[in-house]
Amino acid sequence: MRPTAADYGRSLSGLCFSLIVRDVEAALRFAIDVMGAELQFRTEVFGALKLCGQDFMLHQDKTYQHNALDGSLQSAEARGIGVELRAYGVDPDAAEKRAREFGFTVLAGSIDKPHGLRECMIIDNEGYVWIASVHLPLEQSS
């Protein structure tokens, strides 16, 4: 049985983010197929997912028609400029491979970083930047 919107809202806690997207189906495919998110439930204009144990949502633009953000959305070509969606515990090499297979832009390929992470940067179909990363073993990150 699918939860109601009110049930889902009451279940949320901690930090959660919502991405406003033009195409929920395409955004779901990226989140699931590339990043490995788990679908909780969806409608034609909404998707609820979990990634790395955290909830996040996808809302289609038209759900924001009576929201203060509506005017900003109409003029935005790329979404999320200046925001990195970091997914700790998502294998960057696997995410990069899947992103390339599905035709997404890999902004920066998988690389070991001096801050103890291996990560890659991928741009989804809406222009959001996702960073898949895993911790490096201690002997590699010193």
Grouping H, G, I as helix, E, B as strand and the rest as coil, residue 53 is coil
Q: Which residue has the higher pLDDT, 26 or 65?
A: 26
For position 3, what pLDDT does the model report? 67
pLDDT for 40-99, tens place per residue?
Answer: 989 899 999 999 999 999 988 776 565 555 455 555 566 677 788 999 999 999 999 999
What the block records as the tokens of 38 is: 């788990």
Residue 41: other Cβ atoms inside 10 A? 13
Q: What is the CATH topology of the domain spanning 5-135?
A: 2,3-Dihydroxybiphenyl 1,2-Dioxygenase; domain 1 (3.10.180)
For position 65, what pLDDT does the model report? 60
pTM: predicted TM-score of the whole model, two decimal places: 0.80
Residue spans per domain, the chain: 5-135
For position 97, what pLDDT does the model report? 98
